[in-house]
């Protein structure tokens, strides 16, 4: 029985062409949006269908959004994509003065393969591309992060891009319907909620700092959702009172430390909690920190400890 051809191979190749051609257009659109970009690396052959572009500089998200919009406008124009080969970059620049290229990847011995997208973009590239921008269908930025001062942009193209945009729209509509606001106002809504959360976090942090500063107790059980904000106040407290120790915990997390002149065996306390199956985390001679596994056992441990 003759083996059937694997359709996924052709689909993957077509998607790679869509992704790579879309990245060319998007890079030019970033420049048009005023971004001075130097593309360090592009990956459009990932198994998950995502494209990745790494830029050597931090590009503001506002310009990325503008460039995404223009990229889709260009794709819809149905521009022909063609290839010309030149002896070197100088010859290519004589024909396409605005050609984009990565100096580190140029090879005079192999010549310059220039990919021309209508009258919109020219770039030196050895990858395969679509024949017409309409073959890309759509382009969608999935995420933008800034590792080590660079910009990492992940994106989708083709049917995957359309599906991604529909998922984002559905999520925005669901949130807008649930909280009774216009979906187009989701950015303003998010900003307002973020500011409110920041104010609440600041108020909670201030209250917890005040509780630590004014408390004579060595063990505090608090209702705060996160107690990571107490690292700083605890350190300040133990600098002022080097002969004391302080342990703070909620239902999920525990922090403990002692001052430089404190004789309390905080390490031993942490080991007792761990052996009792109540705590998982780091145990050091002067501090303990980690996850509360059994809050009842943690409370009982410190109740007994303080009663001695």
C-alpha 253/C-alpha 273 separation (Å) is 13
Distance CA 131, CA 21 (A): 9
pLDDT band at 53 (very low <50, low <70, confident <90, very high): very high
Q: Are residues 249 and 174 in the same domain?
A: no
- Look at residue 212 in the predicted model and tell me its pLDDT: 72
**pLDDT tens track for 233-288:** 888 889 988 999 999 999 999 999 999 999 999 999 999 999 999 999 999 999 99
Do 224 and 262 belong together in one domain?
Answer: yes
Within-domain flag for 194: no
The chain-wide mean pLDDT, for the chain, equals 89
Task: Give me the domain span that covers residue 112.
Answer: 7-179
Can you give the pTM of this predicted structure? 0.69
Q: Same domain, yes or no, for 106 and 254?
A: no
Please give the pLDDT value at position 103: 72
Whether residue 140 is contained in a domain is answered as yes
Same domain, 172 and 211: no
Residues 228 and 175 grouped into a single domain = no
Asked if residue 133 and residue 22 are part of one domain, the reply reads: yes
DSSP string, 251-263: SSEEEEEE-TT--
Where are the strands (E) in 158-244, listed by range?
A: 219-221
The enclosing domain of 88 has a CATH number of: 3.30.980.10
Residues 173-192, mean pLDDT to the nearest whole number: 92
**Could you tell me the pLDDT band of residue 209, with boundaries at 50, 70 and 90?**
confident
Tell whether 56 and 141 lie within a shared domain: yes
| pLDDT tier at 7, thresholds 50, 70, 90 | low
The answer to whether residues 119 and 218 belong to one domain is no
Same domain assignment for residues 231 and 174: no
Q: What pLDDT was estimated at residue 226?
A: 77
Asked whether residue 302 falls in the same domain as residue 234, the answer is yes
For the chain, how far is it from start to end, CA to CA, in angstroms?
82
Predicted pLDDT at 233 = 82
């Amino acid at each position: 029985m003759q083996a059937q051809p694997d359709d996924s191979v052709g689909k993957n190749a077509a998607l790679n062409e869509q992704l790579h051609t879309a990245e060319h257009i998007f890079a030019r659109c970033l420049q048009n949006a005023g971004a001075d970009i130097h593309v360090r690396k592009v990956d459009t052959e990932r198994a998950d269908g995502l494209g990745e572009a790494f830029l050597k500089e931090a590009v503001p998200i506002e310009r990325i959004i503008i460039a995404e919009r223009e990229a889709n406008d260009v794709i819809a124009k149905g521009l022909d994509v063609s290839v010309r080969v030149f002896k070197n970059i100088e010859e290519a620049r004589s024909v396409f003065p605005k050609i984009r290229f990565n100096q580190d990847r140029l090879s005079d011995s192999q010549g310059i393969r220039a990919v021309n997208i209508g009258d919109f973009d020219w770039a030196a590239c050895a990858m395969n591309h679509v024949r017409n921008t309409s073959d890309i269908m759509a382009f969608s930025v999935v995420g933008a992060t800034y590792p080590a001062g660079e910009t990492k942009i992940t994106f989708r193209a083709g049917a995957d891009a359309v599906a991604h945009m529909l998922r984002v729209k559905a999520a925005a509509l669901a949130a807008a319907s649930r909280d009774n606001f216009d979906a187009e106002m989701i950015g303003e809504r998010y900003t307002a909620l973020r500011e409110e959360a920041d104010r609440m976090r600041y108020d909670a942090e201030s209250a917890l700092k005040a509780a630590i500063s004014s408390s004579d107790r060595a063990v505090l059980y608090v209702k705060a959702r996160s107690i990571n904000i107490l690292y700083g106040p605890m350190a300040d407290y133990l600098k002022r009172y080097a002969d004391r120790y302080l342990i703070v915990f909620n239902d999920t997390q525990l922090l403990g430390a002692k001052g430089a002149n404190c004789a309390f065996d905080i390490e031993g306390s942490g080991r007792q909690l761990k052996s009792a199956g109540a705590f998982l985390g780091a145990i050091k001679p002067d501090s303990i920190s980690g996850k509360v596994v059994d809050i009842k056992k943690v409370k009982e441990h410190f109740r007994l400890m303080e009663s001695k």
